[in-house]
Amino acid sequence: MTVDKTIDERFEALCEKIPIVDTHNDFPYSLRVQFHNELHCPGSKFDFDSLLTSHTDLIRMKQGKIGIQFFSCFIECKEDDYLYEDFNKPNSAVRDTLEQIDVIKRLVDEYSNQFEFVTNSKDALDSFLTTKGEKISITLGVEGLHQCDLSLAVVRQYFDLGVRYITITHNCDNPFATAASSIAAGKPDKGLTKYGASCIEEMNRLGMIVDLSHVSHKTMLDVLEITKAPVIFSHSSVYSLTNHERNVRDDVLQLVKKNGGVVCINFFPLFLKQQSKESVTIDDAVDHVKYIIDLIGWDHVGFGSDFDGIPQGPVGLEDVSKYPDLVKKVWEITGASEENIAKMMGLNVLRVWKECEEISKQIKAKNTLPVEVNWEDRKWEFYEYCREFPEIYPGSYNLKKNIYKNTQSLDNNKK
Protein backbone atom coordinates (compact mmCIF):
# COMPACT_ATOMS: atom_id res chain seq x y z
CA MET A 1 0.00 0.00 0.00
CA THR A 2 1.37 3.41 -1.06
CA VAL A 3 0.92 6.25 1.39
CA ASP A 4 0.58 9.66 -0.25
CA LYS A 5 3.10 12.20 0.94
CA THR A 6 1.87 15.31 2.67
CA ILE A 7 2.29 18.77 1.16
CA ASP A 8 4.99 19.44 3.77
CA GLU A 9 6.93 16.34 2.70
CA ARG A 10 6.55 17.10 -1.00
CA PHE A 11 7.66 20.68 -0.46
CA GLU A 12 10.79 19.67 1.47
CA ALA A 13 11.72 17.21 -1.27
CA LEU A 14 11.16 19.82 -3.98
CA CYS A 15 13.31 22.38 -2.16
CA GLU A 16 16.31 20.06 -2.49
CA LYS A 17 16.37 20.65 -6.26
CA ILE A 18 14.37 23.85 -6.89
CA PRO A 19 15.35 27.27 -5.50
CA ILE A 20 12.83 29.85 -4.41
CA VAL A 21 13.60 33.01 -6.37
CA ASP A 22 12.68 36.48 -5.08
CA THR A 23 13.09 39.15 -7.75
CA HIS A 24 12.91 42.19 -5.48
CA ASN A 25 14.27 42.84 -2.00
CA ASP A 26 15.21 46.36 -0.84
CA PHE A 27 17.38 45.47 2.17
CA PRO A 28 20.44 47.26 0.66
CA TYR A 29 18.51 50.53 0.80
CA SER A 30 18.19 50.07 4.57
CA LEU A 31 21.97 49.78 4.73
CA ARG A 32 22.18 53.08 2.85
CA VAL A 33 19.70 54.98 5.00
CA GLN A 34 20.62 53.59 8.40
CA PHE A 35 24.39 52.95 8.09
CA HIS A 36 25.39 55.12 5.09
CA ASN A 37 26.56 51.82 3.55
CA GLU A 38 29.14 51.28 6.32
CA LEU A 39 28.82 47.63 7.31
CA HIS A 40 31.14 48.24 10.28
CA CYS A 41 30.24 51.79 11.25
CA PRO A 42 31.06 52.83 14.84
CA GLY A 43 28.27 51.95 17.25
CA SER A 44 26.60 49.52 14.87
CA LYS A 45 25.42 46.13 16.09
CA PHE A 46 24.82 44.87 12.54
CA ASP A 47 25.31 41.15 11.97
CA PHE A 48 23.43 39.80 8.95
CA ASP A 49 23.75 36.27 10.32
CA SER A 50 21.52 37.10 13.29
CA LEU A 51 17.83 37.76 13.82
CA LEU A 52 17.28 41.39 12.87
CA THR A 53 14.15 43.53 13.20
CA SER A 54 14.12 44.16 9.44
CA HIS A 55 12.26 41.82 7.07
CA THR A 56 15.53 40.24 5.92
CA ASP A 57 18.50 38.46 7.47
CA LEU A 58 20.48 35.33 6.68
CA ILE A 59 18.79 33.17 9.29
CA ARG A 60 15.31 33.86 7.92
CA MET A 61 16.45 33.68 4.29
CA LYS A 62 17.55 30.12 5.02
CA GLN A 63 14.28 29.39 6.82
CA GLY A 64 12.46 30.78 3.79
CA LYS A 65 14.31 28.41 1.44
CA ILE A 66 15.45 31.31 -0.72
CA GLY A 67 17.91 30.02 -3.30
CA ILE A 68 18.28 33.06 -5.56
CA GLN A 69 17.83 36.67 -4.44
CA PHE A 70 17.72 39.75 -6.66
CA PHE A 71 18.74 42.63 -4.40
CA SER A 72 17.46 46.00 -5.57
CA CYS A 73 19.91 48.85 -6.14
CA PHE A 74 17.29 51.48 -5.40
CA ILE A 75 17.74 55.25 -5.46
CA GLU A 76 14.59 57.33 -5.09
CA CYS A 77 13.35 60.00 -7.48
CA LYS A 78 14.25 63.35 -5.93
CA GLU A 79 11.31 65.43 -4.69
CA ASP A 80 13.13 68.71 -5.37
CA ASP A 81 13.04 67.86 -9.08
CA TYR A 82 9.45 66.59 -9.24
CA LEU A 83 9.06 63.81 -11.79
CA TYR A 84 12.45 64.82 -13.22
CA GLU A 85 10.82 67.30 -15.58
CA ASP A 86 14.21 68.92 -16.26
CA PHE A 87 16.10 65.87 -17.46
CA ASN A 88 19.25 67.89 -18.19
CA LYS A 89 19.63 68.90 -14.55
CA PRO A 90 22.67 67.17 -12.98
CA ASN A 91 21.88 64.65 -10.24
CA SER A 92 23.66 62.12 -8.07
CA ALA A 93 21.68 59.03 -9.10
CA VAL A 94 24.53 57.23 -10.86
CA ARG A 95 26.96 57.81 -7.98
CA ASP A 96 24.37 56.63 -5.47
CA THR A 97 23.54 53.54 -7.55
CA LEU A 98 27.21 52.60 -7.76
CA GLU A 99 27.35 52.83 -3.98
CA GLN A 100 24.40 50.43 -3.75
CA ILE A 101 26.08 47.97 -6.10
CA ASP A 102 29.23 48.26 -4.02
CA VAL A 103 27.57 47.65 -0.65
CA ILE A 104 25.74 44.57 -1.96
CA LYS A 105 29.00 43.11 -3.26
CA ARG A 106 30.72 43.86 0.05
CA LEU A 107 27.85 42.19 1.92
CA VAL A 108 28.25 39.11 -0.28
CA ASP A 109 32.01 39.06 0.37
CA GLU A 110 31.45 39.49 4.11
CA TYR A 111 29.19 36.42 4.19
CA SER A 112 30.84 34.42 1.41
CA ASN A 113 30.16 31.11 3.15
CA GLN A 114 26.43 31.70 2.68
CA PHE A 115 26.30 33.96 -0.41
CA GLU A 116 27.52 33.61 -3.98
CA PHE A 117 27.47 36.59 -6.36
CA VAL A 118 26.26 35.42 -9.78
CA THR A 119 25.80 37.06 -13.17
CA ASN A 120 24.12 34.36 -15.25
CA SER A 121 21.23 31.96 -14.90
CA LYS A 122 23.35 28.81 -15.03
CA ASP A 123 25.66 29.87 -12.22
CA ALA A 124 22.67 30.99 -10.14
CA LEU A 125 21.12 27.52 -10.30
CA ASP A 126 24.41 25.62 -10.15
CA SER A 127 25.49 27.38 -6.96
CA PHE A 128 22.23 26.39 -5.31
CA LEU A 129 22.47 22.78 -6.47
CA THR A 130 26.17 22.17 -5.81
CA THR A 131 25.94 23.55 -2.27
CA LYS A 132 22.58 21.83 -1.67
CA GLY A 133 21.02 25.17 -0.84
CA GLU A 134 23.72 26.15 1.65
CA LYS A 135 24.67 29.14 -0.50
CA ILE A 136 22.18 31.72 -1.71
CA SER A 137 22.86 33.12 -5.18
CA ILE A 138 22.82 36.92 -5.18
CA THR A 139 22.32 39.12 -8.23
CA LEU A 140 21.26 42.71 -8.86
CA GLY A 141 18.41 44.82 -10.20
CA VAL A 142 18.36 48.60 -10.70
CA GLU A 143 15.00 50.17 -9.86
CA GLY A 144 14.52 52.82 -12.51
CA LEU A 145 16.20 54.26 -15.59
CA HIS A 146 16.39 57.62 -13.81
CA GLN A 147 19.37 55.92 -12.16
CA CYS A 148 21.08 55.86 -15.58
CA ASP A 149 20.88 59.67 -15.94
CA LEU A 150 20.02 59.90 -19.67
CA SER A 151 22.71 57.50 -20.83
CA LEU A 152 22.71 54.08 -22.50
CA ALA A 153 26.42 53.99 -21.67
CA VAL A 154 25.42 53.74 -18.00
CA VAL A 155 23.08 50.84 -18.82
CA ARG A 156 26.01 49.02 -20.41
CA GLN A 157 28.29 49.71 -17.45
CA TYR A 158 25.66 48.50 -14.98
CA PHE A 159 25.47 45.26 -16.94
CA ASP A 160 29.26 44.89 -16.76
CA LEU A 161 29.02 45.37 -12.98
CA GLY A 162 26.54 42.51 -12.65
CA VAL A 163 23.12 44.18 -12.87
CA ARG A 164 20.74 41.79 -14.58
CA TYR A 165 17.48 43.72 -14.71
CA ILE A 166 16.54 47.37 -14.86
CA THR A 167 13.08 48.71 -14.05
CA ILE A 168 12.11 51.13 -16.83
CA THR A 169 10.77 53.77 -14.43
CA HIS A 170 10.39 54.25 -10.71
CA ASN A 171 7.99 56.84 -9.27
CA CYS A 172 8.97 59.50 -11.80
CA ASP A 173 8.94 59.93 -15.55
CA ASN A 174 12.30 59.85 -17.28
CA PRO A 175 13.53 60.35 -20.85
CA PHE A 176 12.66 56.72 -21.58
CA ALA A 177 9.07 56.26 -20.41
CA THR A 178 6.05 57.32 -18.36
CA ALA A 179 5.67 56.09 -14.78
CA ALA A 180 2.53 54.70 -13.13
CA SER A 181 2.84 57.40 -10.47
CA SER A 182 2.40 60.09 -13.12
CA ILE A 183 -0.88 58.55 -14.24
CA ALA A 184 -2.07 58.33 -10.64
CA ALA A 185 -1.27 62.06 -10.36
CA GLY A 186 -3.47 62.83 -13.37
CA LYS A 187 -0.72 63.34 -15.93
CA PRO A 188 -1.10 62.02 -19.51
CA ASP A 189 0.14 58.53 -20.32
CA LYS A 190 2.72 59.08 -23.06
CA GLY A 191 4.08 55.55 -22.77
CA LEU A 192 7.50 54.62 -24.09
CA THR A 193 9.49 57.37 -25.81
CA LYS A 194 11.54 56.96 -28.98
CA TYR A 195 14.65 57.01 -26.81
CA GLY A 196 13.03 54.43 -24.54
CA ALA A 197 12.58 52.13 -27.55
CA SER A 198 16.31 52.46 -28.24
CA CYS A 199 16.98 51.50 -24.62
CA ILE A 200 14.84 48.36 -24.90
CA GLU A 201 16.78 47.45 -28.03
CA GLU A 202 20.08 47.84 -26.17
CA MET A 203 18.85 45.91 -23.13
CA ASN A 204 17.83 43.05 -25.44
CA ARG A 205 21.29 43.14 -27.05
CA LEU A 206 23.02 43.04 -23.67
CA GLY A 207 20.83 40.33 -22.17
CA MET A 208 19.56 42.77 -19.53
CA ILE A 209 16.08 41.73 -18.36
CA VAL A 210 13.43 44.42 -18.89
CA ASP A 211 11.39 45.05 -15.73
CA LEU A 212 7.95 46.67 -16.15
CA SER A 213 7.02 47.21 -12.52
CA HIS A 214 6.34 50.90 -11.77
CA VAL A 215 5.61 51.84 -15.41
CA SER A 216 2.36 53.20 -16.84
CA HIS A 217 -0.18 51.05 -18.64
CA LYS A 218 0.77 52.43 -22.05
CA THR A 219 4.46 51.93 -21.32
CA MET A 220 3.72 48.27 -20.59
CA LEU A 221 1.88 47.92 -23.91
CA ASP A 222 4.56 49.77 -25.87
CA VAL A 223 7.42 47.68 -24.46
CA LEU A 224 5.61 44.39 -24.97
CA GLU A 225 5.03 45.34 -28.60
CA ILE A 226 8.72 45.82 -29.42
CA THR A 227 10.86 43.75 -27.04
CA LYS A 228 12.59 40.73 -28.52
CA ALA A 229 12.99 39.08 -25.12
CA PRO A 230 10.62 38.10 -22.32
CA VAL A 231 10.04 40.65 -19.56
CA ILE A 232 9.42 40.51 -15.84
CA PHE A 233 7.34 42.53 -13.44
CA SER A 234 9.78 42.28 -10.55
CA HIS A 235 7.29 43.37 -7.86
CA SER A 236 3.70 43.91 -9.04
CA SER A 237 0.31 42.34 -8.41
CA VAL A 238 -3.05 42.02 -10.21
CA TYR A 239 -5.09 45.10 -11.13
CA SER A 240 -8.39 43.19 -11.40
CA LEU A 241 -8.13 42.25 -7.73
CA THR A 242 -6.73 45.58 -6.52
CA ASN A 243 -7.14 48.51 -8.90
CA HIS A 244 -3.87 50.26 -8.19
CA GLU A 245 -1.78 51.73 -11.03
CA ARG A 246 1.21 49.70 -9.81
CA ASN A 247 -0.62 46.48 -10.63
CA VAL A 248 -1.02 44.68 -13.95
CA ARG A 249 -4.24 44.79 -15.97
CA ASP A 250 -5.71 41.76 -17.72
CA ASP A 251 -4.89 42.99 -21.24
CA VAL A 252 -1.24 43.28 -20.23
CA LEU A 253 -1.32 39.86 -18.58
CA GLN A 254 -2.45 38.35 -21.88
CA LEU A 255 0.48 40.04 -23.62
CA VAL A 256 2.83 38.75 -20.92
CA LYS A 257 1.65 35.24 -21.78
CA LYS A 258 2.38 35.84 -25.46
CA ASN A 259 5.76 37.37 -24.58
CA GLY A 260 6.74 34.52 -22.25
CA GLY A 261 7.27 36.87 -19.32
CA VAL A 262 6.65 36.54 -15.59
CA VAL A 263 4.69 38.63 -13.08
CA CYS A 264 6.30 38.37 -9.64
CA ILE A 265 3.72 39.09 -6.96
CA ASN A 266 4.41 42.02 -4.63
CA PHE A 267 3.58 41.50 -0.93
CA PHE A 268 2.81 45.16 -0.14
CA PRO A 269 -0.65 45.02 1.51
CA LEU A 270 -1.86 48.08 -0.42
CA PHE A 271 -1.28 46.24 -3.72
CA LEU A 272 -3.00 43.07 -2.50
CA LYS A 273 -6.19 44.46 -0.98
CA GLN A 274 -7.32 48.06 -0.62
CA GLN A 275 -8.50 47.79 2.96
CA SER A 276 -6.78 48.39 6.28
CA LYS A 277 -3.31 46.88 6.14
CA GLU A 278 -4.03 44.86 9.28
CA SER A 279 -6.75 42.94 7.43
CA VAL A 280 -4.50 41.82 4.56
CA THR A 281 -3.23 38.26 4.94
CA ILE A 282 -1.22 35.63 3.14
CA ASP A 283 -4.50 34.43 1.63
CA ASP A 284 -4.74 37.68 -0.34
CA ALA A 285 -1.30 37.03 -1.82
CA VAL A 286 -2.48 33.53 -2.72
CA ASP A 287 -5.47 35.08 -4.51
CA HIS A 288 -3.16 37.16 -6.71
CA VAL A 289 -0.96 34.17 -7.51
CA LYS A 290 -3.98 32.04 -8.35
CA TYR A 291 -5.54 34.77 -10.51
CA ILE A 292 -2.50 34.81 -12.77
CA ILE A 293 -2.40 31.02 -12.90
CA ASP A 294 -6.08 30.82 -13.84
CA LEU A 295 -5.85 33.57 -16.47
CA ILE A 296 -2.53 32.94 -18.23
CA GLY A 297 -1.04 29.79 -16.71
CA TRP A 298 1.68 28.51 -14.40
CA ASP A 299 4.50 29.67 -16.70
CA HIS A 300 3.99 33.33 -15.87
CA VAL A 301 3.93 33.74 -12.09
CA GLY A 302 6.64 34.23 -9.48
CA PHE A 303 7.51 36.11 -6.28
CA GLY A 304 8.82 39.67 -5.90
CA SER A 305 8.22 40.48 -2.25
CA ASP A 306 9.48 44.08 -1.98
CA PHE A 307 10.58 43.19 1.57
CA ASP A 308 12.36 46.03 3.36
CA GLY A 309 10.96 48.40 0.75
CA ILE A 310 7.52 48.26 2.39
CA PRO A 311 6.50 49.05 5.99
CA GLN A 312 5.13 45.57 6.63
CA GLY A 313 3.99 42.43 4.87
CA PRO A 314 0.58 40.77 5.11
CA VAL A 315 -0.33 38.71 8.16
CA GLY A 316 1.36 35.37 7.56
CA LEU A 317 3.91 36.90 5.15
CA GLU A 318 5.73 39.11 7.61
CA ASP A 319 9.29 38.44 6.44
CA VAL A 320 11.53 36.35 4.19
CA SER A 321 11.07 33.21 6.29
CA LYS A 322 7.44 32.85 5.18
CA TYR A 323 7.88 31.72 1.56
CA PRO A 324 7.29 28.05 2.43
CA ASP A 325 3.89 28.95 3.89
CA LEU A 326 2.94 30.78 0.69
CA VAL A 327 4.09 27.97 -1.59
CA LYS A 328 2.29 25.32 0.46
CA LYS A 329 -0.94 27.32 0.58
CA VAL A 330 -0.94 27.66 -3.21
CA TRP A 331 -0.18 23.95 -3.50
CA GLU A 332 -3.02 22.98 -1.18
CA ILE A 333 -5.57 25.17 -2.96
CA THR A 334 -4.58 24.22 -6.52
CA GLY A 335 -3.56 20.59 -6.09
CA ALA A 336 -0.85 21.31 -8.63
CA SER A 337 1.92 19.04 -9.85
CA GLU A 338 5.51 19.37 -8.61
CA GLU A 339 6.39 20.66 -12.08
CA ASN A 340 4.03 23.62 -11.83
CA ILE A 341 4.94 24.45 -8.25
CA ALA A 342 8.60 24.44 -9.29
CA LYS A 343 7.83 26.96 -12.03
CA MET A 344 6.21 29.31 -9.54
CA MET A 345 9.00 28.88 -6.97
CA GLY A 346 11.71 30.00 -9.35
CA LEU A 347 12.00 28.15 -12.64
CA ASN A 348 9.87 30.72 -14.47
CA VAL A 349 12.25 33.54 -13.57
CA LEU A 350 15.27 31.38 -14.42
CA ARG A 351 13.70 30.59 -17.80
CA VAL A 352 13.21 34.28 -18.58
CA TRP A 353 16.77 35.03 -17.50
CA LYS A 354 18.15 32.25 -19.70
CA GLU A 355 16.03 33.28 -22.69
CA CYS A 356 17.29 36.86 -22.38
CA GLU A 357 20.84 35.48 -22.43
CA GLU A 358 20.13 33.34 -25.49
CA ILE A 359 18.47 36.19 -27.39
CA SER A 360 21.46 38.39 -26.58
CA LYS A 361 23.77 35.76 -28.08
CA GLN A 362 21.63 35.61 -31.23
CA ILE A 363 21.67 39.40 -31.60
CA LYS A 364 25.43 39.61 -31.05
CA ALA A 365 26.03 36.74 -33.49
CA LYS A 366 24.78 39.09 -36.21
CA ASN A 367 27.58 41.54 -35.26
CA THR A 368 24.98 44.00 -34.01
CA LEU A 369 26.70 47.11 -32.70
CA PRO A 370 25.83 48.76 -29.38
CA VAL A 371 23.02 51.30 -29.63
CA GLU A 372 24.83 54.65 -29.70
CA VAL A 373 21.93 57.11 -29.89
CA ASN A 374 21.60 59.81 -27.25
CA TRP A 375 18.50 61.51 -25.87
CA GLU A 376 17.57 64.02 -28.55
CA ASP A 377 17.04 66.91 -26.11
CA ARG A 378 20.28 66.41 -24.23
CA LYS A 379 22.42 69.54 -23.88
CA TRP A 380 26.12 69.04 -24.54
CA GLU A 381 28.07 71.80 -22.80
CA PHE A 382 31.83 72.38 -23.03
CA TYR A 383 34.31 75.14 -22.30
CA GLU A 384 35.32 77.33 -25.22
CA TYR A 385 38.97 76.33 -24.88
CA CYS A 386 38.25 72.79 -26.12
CA ARG A 387 37.87 74.20 -29.63
CA GLU A 388 41.58 74.94 -29.53
CA PHE A 389 42.22 71.19 -29.56
CA PRO A 390 42.88 69.62 -33.00
CA GLU A 391 40.00 68.35 -35.10
CA ILE A 392 39.72 64.58 -35.49
CA TYR A 393 39.31 65.28 -39.19
CA PRO A 394 38.59 68.54 -41.08
CA GLY A 395 35.16 69.85 -40.12
CA SER A 396 34.52 67.31 -37.35
CA TYR A 397 33.68 70.06 -34.84
CA ASN A 398 30.64 70.87 -36.99
CA LEU A 399 29.12 67.38 -36.80
CA LYS A 400 27.26 67.88 -33.51
CA LYS A 401 25.60 70.85 -31.83
CA ASN A 402 27.37 71.97 -28.67
CA ILE A 403 27.03 74.81 -26.19
CA TYR A 404 30.35 76.51 -25.44
CA LYS A 405 31.06 78.56 -22.30
CA ASN A 406 33.88 81.06 -21.73
CA THR A 407 34.20 80.65 -17.96
CA GLN A 408 37.48 78.71 -17.93
CA SER A 409 40.87 79.00 -19.61
CA LEU A 410 43.62 76.52 -20.36
CA ASP A 411 45.96 79.00 -18.70
CA ASN A 412 45.32 78.49 -14.98
CA ASN A 413 47.15 81.74 -14.16
CA LYS A 414 44.94 83.75 -16.49
CA LYS A 415 42.19 85.72 -14.77
Tens-place pLDDT, residues 134-155? 999 999 999 999 999 889 999 9
Which of 58-62, 104-108, 114-118, 394-398 has the least mean pLDDT?
A: 394-398
Residue 96 has pLDDT above 90, yes or no: yes
Tell me the average pLDDT across 386-409: 90
**Which stretches does DSSP call E strand in 16-73?**
20-25, 66-73
Given 235, 244, 288, 300, the catalytic residue = 235
Provide the pLDDT for residue 138.
Answer: 99
For residue 17, the tally of other CB atoms under 10 A from its CB is: 14
Q: Is the predicted pLDDT of residue 126 greater than 70, yes or no?
A: yes
pLDDT confidence of residue 89 = 78
Query: pLDDT per residue over 284-304, tens digit each?
Result: 999 999 999 999 999 999 999
pLDDT band at 406, cuts 50/70/90?
A: confident
pLDDT digit string (tens) for 166-193? 999 999 999 999 999 999 999 999 999 9
- Paired strand residues for 272: none
Residue 78 has pLDDT above 80, yes or no: no
Q: Is the pLDDT of residue 407 over 80?
A: no
Q: What is the pLDDT of residue 397?
A: 92
Predicted local confidence at residue 83, as pLDDT:
45
What does pTM read for this prediction?
A: 0.95
- Percentage of the chain beyond pLDDT 70 is 95
Q: For the chain, how many residues are written?
A: 415
- Asked whether the predicted pLDDT for residue 92 surpasses 70, the reply is yes
Q: Please report the pLDDT score of residue 368 as a whole number.
A: 97
* pLDDT at res. 1: 42
Respond yes or no: is residue 214 known to be catalytic: yes
What is the pLDDT, as a whole number, of residue 227?
99
Per-residue pLDDT for 415 more than 50? no
Instruction: Identify the CA nearest to 18 among candidates 141, 165, 140, 132.
Output: 132
Q: What is the overall mean pLDDT for the chain?
A: 94
Residue from 22, 26, 173, 211 carrying the catalytic annotation: 26
Compute the distance between CA of residue 289 and CA of residue 298 in angstroms, rounded to an integer: 9
The active-site residue, picked from 170, 217, 244, 300, is: 170
> Mind listing the pLDDT tens digit for each residue in 361-384?
999 999 999 999 999 999 999 999
For residue range 25-44, list pLDDT tens digits in order: 999 999 999 999 999 999 99
Query: Of 214, 217, 244, 288, which residue is the catalytic one?
Result: 214
Active site residue 24: yes
Domains and CATH numbers, the chain: 7-365 (3.20.20.140), 380-415 (no CATH)
Q: How confident is the model at residue 86 (pLDDT cuts 50, 70, 90)?
A: confident
Residue 403 CB partners (closer than 8 Å, separation 6+): 379, 380, 381, 382
Q: Is residue 244 annotated as a catalytic residue, yes or no?
A: no
Active site residue 36: no
Give yes or no for residue 82 having a pLDDT over 70.
no
Arithmetic mean of pLDDT, 86-105: 91
Q: Which residues, 6 or more positions from 193, have their beta carbon under 8 angstroms from its beta carbon?
A: 175, 176, 177
> Is 306 tagged catalytic?
yes
pLDDT at 409: 72
Tell me which H or E stretch contains 404.
Answer: strand 403-405
Predicted pLDDT at 276: 64
| Whether the Cβ atoms of residue 318 and residue 308 lie closer than 8 Å to each other | no
Query: Of 116, 143, 308, 319, which one is the catalytic site residue?
Result: 143
CB 300 within 8 A of CB 348: yes
Reported as a pLDDT band with limits 50, 70 and 90, residue 414 is low
Quick one: pLDDT at residue 81? 53
Return the percent helix, strand and coil in the chain, to nearest 5: 45, 15, 40
pLDDT of 359 > 50? The answer is yes
Q: What is the pLDDT of residue 80?
A: 58
Whether residue 60 is predicted with pLDDT greater than 80 in this model: the reply is yes
> Per DSSP, which regions of 106-168 are E strands?
115-117, 136-142, 163-167
Residue 345 carries which DSSP code?
I
User: Which of 81-95, 219-233, 344-358 is least confident?
Assistant: 81-95
Question: Which residue in the list 99, 202, 284, 306 is annotated as catalytic?
Answer: 306
